[in-house]
């Protein structure tokens, strides 16, 4: 299991626990609807909920032979109050992997097939969730996925706007004290409604981005996380999910965080941090929002890779020398035909379209 | 197909939700426990791959509920200071033969869980004990520990996640 899968798994466990605990106190009609939607969003959610239910049952049994009275339990907890605060999970080194059961794997595979359900959920989210913000302490939790070539835009309950690019999965968890988004794969653009009391935190690979009122783009590709700021400022630093994620992770001093301004970008590969952010044209990075891909003297190999993120038929460069051919222009992500016509217009380039591939070679 | 299943389960709960909760309450004698179990029955029903293949969904619903209630009671022996021989659950238990070592696995699990529980902060641990051992409501726990109800819920969900993670390692 990749660290991302693991973090996603923990996030889902946290969501399941919040629902489990709320359910005991009883849900309002609206919360009940939200709970149903959460369950419908993925079979993984169902599995996790039942897993916690069985833990709760076991916990009852732990106490079956205990002699502690209510008063003695309270006295013990009160006595501990004067001691220095203990970390919540003192014996839980965060690097230990969270083992996946075979069942969960199977469920995760099914989850991929659940896009239909997700769409229903999105409709619900867009139209019903707006008033959920001030709900007592029930965190709203969801996740969105886009298929290959698909893009989606969602308005989140706090008014922030989330754009998802092709092949992207995002898990969202809003609580009273923080807004957490986990980019599991792909690329997303965030237009964040600033709430000083409730930080907006994006976890992607080894990096964590904390919004300071802004629009920014995060792309995750294997072990590479690329953060680009379109407007405003963000703080980027090592993901606190990889460190201990205790109660008040949000209140840590942002010592190792770098501040990023508009048209600045930082790329973190396998947890290795560059000395400083680089200057980029953020308008270009986010051209996918307009269903465009923009190239300015880029090698054909890179252009093909970029097109293949959206195209149903991959572009293959069969003549190695062509890989460095410089390409400039603005293309529409879903207009492969337009791109093929453009390539055909170039001198010495031959394009062959087969049932499964688009082959580019020297004439 | 999933949509059909969904609507079937939902219809089932719309029709039987109240009766189911009453059914569970008669067995567990605590409203919050009954609510928690009813919720779990619902989640379990959602998981049935194809509801249309279940011959008698209502009977199935109550069978699931009854099993959960039995399981719940077995683990909460602690509560029952008085044994009511007319209690359907007591009769269920009397009808069951004692297990021979089949519970060894469970004993180990419970032992391990007891250790895991001790890793939590004192208040978090106390919240768990007051809820799961003594069945106190969130409000009662909040009052006793001098914290907010929200904090109680936060402690309990943190504890569940922690236990789940630690116990998952067991296999």
Please judge whether B35 and A23 are an interchain contact, meaning their C-beta atoms are less than 8 angstroms apart: yes
Contact A237, A3 (CB under 8 A): no
Q: Nearest residue of B to residue A15 by CA position?
A: B157
Gap from A187 CA to chain B (nearest CA, Å): 29
What is the rounded CA–CA span in Å between residue B59 and residue B66?
Answer: 10
Please judge whether B77 and A64 are an interchain contact, meaning their C-beta atoms are less than 8 angstroms apart: yes
Please tell me whether residues A235 and A301 are part of one structural domain: no
What is the rounded CA–CA span in Å between residue A231 and residue A228?
Answer: 9
The ipTM assigned to this model is 0.71
Least confident range of A23-37, A131-145, B7-21, B68-82: A131-145
pLDDT band at A281; cut points 50, 70, 90 = confident
Contact B127, B99 (CB under 8 A): no
Q: Nearest residue of A to residue B46 by CA position?
A: A46
What is the rounded CA–CA span in Å between residue A22 and residue A137?
Answer: 9
**Partner-chain residue, chosen from A17, A24, A78, that has the shortest CB–CB distance to B32:** A24
Please tell me whether residues A131 and A206 are part of one structural domain: yes
Q: Would you call B162 an interface residue with chain A, using a CB distance cutoff of 8 Å?
A: yes
pLDDT band at A91; cut points 50, 70, 90 = very low
With H, G, I as helix, E, B as strand and everything else as coil, classify residue A350: strand
Backbone phi, psi, residue B72, to 5°: -60, -45
Please tell me whether residues A302 and A271 are part of one structural domain: no
Contact A294, A333 (CB under 8 A): no
**Partner-chain residue, chosen from A25, A73, A137, that has the shortest CB–CB distance to B126:** A73
As a whole number, mean pLDDT of residues A129-135 equals 36
Gap from B86 CA to chain A (nearest CA, Å): 23
Domain closes at, from A279, A311, A332: A279
pLDDT at residue B1, rounded to an integer: 46
Q: Would you call A93 an interface residue with chain B, using a CB distance cutoff of 8 Å?
A: no
Please tell me whether residues A82 and A103 are part of one structural domain: yes
As a whole number, mean pLDDT of residues A117-140 equals 38
Please tell me whether residues A304 and A338 are part of one structural domain: yes
- Domain membership flag for residue A285: no
pLDDT at residue B128, rounded to an integer: 94
Least confident range of A89-93, A273-277, B115-119: A89-93
For the entire predicted model, the pTM comes to 0.45
Query: What stretches of chain A adopt beta strand conformation (E)?
Result: 140-145, 152-155, 161-164, 169-174, 179-191, 200-204, 207-221, 224-238, 258-261, 264-269, 278-279, 292-299, 315-317, 326-332, 349-353, 358-362
Q: Would you call A77 an interface residue with chain B, using a CB distance cutoff of 8 Å?
A: yes
Q: Residue A329: which domain range?
A: 291-362
Residues of B in contact with A101 (CB under 8 A): 168
Query: What stretches of chain B adopt beta strand conformation (E)?
Result: none
Gap from A13 CA to chain B (nearest CA, Å): 6
The percent of residues above 90 in pLDDT, for chain A, comes to 9
Gap from A125 CA to chain B (nearest CA, Å): 18
For the beta carbon of residue A270, count every other beta carbon within 10 angstroms: 10
Residue-wise pLDDT tens digits, B25-78? 888 877 778 888 888 888 888 777 766 667 777 888 888 888 888 888 776 654
Query: What's the CATH code of the domain at A253?
Result: 2.60.120.1440
Q: Would you call B49 an interface residue with chain A, using a CB distance cutoff of 8 Å?
A: no
Backbone phi, psi, residue A362, to 5°: -75, 140
* Count: domains in chain A: 2
């Amino acid at each position: 299991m990749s660290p991302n899968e693991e973090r996603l798994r923990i996030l889902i466990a946290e969501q399941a626990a919040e629902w489990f605990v709320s359910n005991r106190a009883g849900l309002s009609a609206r919360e009940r609807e939200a709970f149903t939607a959460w369950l419908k969003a993925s079979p993984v959610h169902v599995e996790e909920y039942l897993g916690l239910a069985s833990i709760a049952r076991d916990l009852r049994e732990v106490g079956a032979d205990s002699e502690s009275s209510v008063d003695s339990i309270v006295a013990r907890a009160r006595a501990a109050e004067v001691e220095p605060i203990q970390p919540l999970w003192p014996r839980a080194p965060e690097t230990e992997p969270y083992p996946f059961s075979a069942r969960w794997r199977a469920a995760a595979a099914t989850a991929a097939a659940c896009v239909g359900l997700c769409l229903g959920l999105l409709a619900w989210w867009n139209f019903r969730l707006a008033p959920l913000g001030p709900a007592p302490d029930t965190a709203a939790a969801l996740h969105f996925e886009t298929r290959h070539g698909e893009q989606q835009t969602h308005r989140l309950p706090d008014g922030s706007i989330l754009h998802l690019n092709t092949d992207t999965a995002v898990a969202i968890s809003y609580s009273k004290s923080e807004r957490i988004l986990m980019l599991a794969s792909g690329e997303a653009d965030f237009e964040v409604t600033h709430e000083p009391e409730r930080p907006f935190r994006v976890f992607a690979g080894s990096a964590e981005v904390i919004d300071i009122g802004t629009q920014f783009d995060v792309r995750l590709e294997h072990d590479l996380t690329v953060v680009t700021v379109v407007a405003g400022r963000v703080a980027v630093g090592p993901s606190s999910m990889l460190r201990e994620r205790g109660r008040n992770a949000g209140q840590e001093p942002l010592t190792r965080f770098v501040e990023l301004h508009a048209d600045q970008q930082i790329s973190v590969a396998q947890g290795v941090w560059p000395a400083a952010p680089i200057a980029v044209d953020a308008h270009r990075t986010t051209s996918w929002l307009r269903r465009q891909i923009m190239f300015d003297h880029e090698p054909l190999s890179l252009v093909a890779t970029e097109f293949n993120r959206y195209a149903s038929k991959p572009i293959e460069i069969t003549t190695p020398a062509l890989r460095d051919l410089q390409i400039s222009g603005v293309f529409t992500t879903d207009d492969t035909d337009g791109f093929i016509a453009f390539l055909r217009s170039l001198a010495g380039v031959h394009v062959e379209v087969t049932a499964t591939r688009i082959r580019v070679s020297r004439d | 197909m999933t949509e059909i299943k969904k609507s079937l389960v939902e219809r089932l709960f719309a029709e039987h939700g109240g009766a189911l909760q009453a059914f569970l309450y008669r067995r567990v004698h605590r409203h919050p426990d009954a609510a928690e179990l009813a919720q779990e029955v619902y989640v379990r029903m959602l998981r049935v791959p194809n509801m249309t293949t279940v011959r008698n969904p209502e009977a199935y619903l109550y069978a699931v509920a009854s099993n959960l209630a039995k399981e719940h009671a077995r683990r909460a022996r602690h509560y029952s200071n008085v044994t009511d021989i007319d209690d359907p659950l007591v009769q269920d238990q009397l009808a069951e033969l004692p297990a021979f070592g089949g519970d060894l696995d469970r004993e180990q699990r419970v032992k391990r869980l007891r250790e895991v529980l001790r890793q939590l902060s004192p208040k978090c641990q106390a919240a768990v004990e007051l809820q799961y051992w003594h069945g106190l409501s969130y409000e009662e726990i909040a009052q006793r520990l001098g914290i907010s109800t929200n904090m109680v819920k936060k402690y309990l969900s943190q504890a569940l996640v922690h236990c789940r993670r630690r116990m998952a390692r067991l296999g």
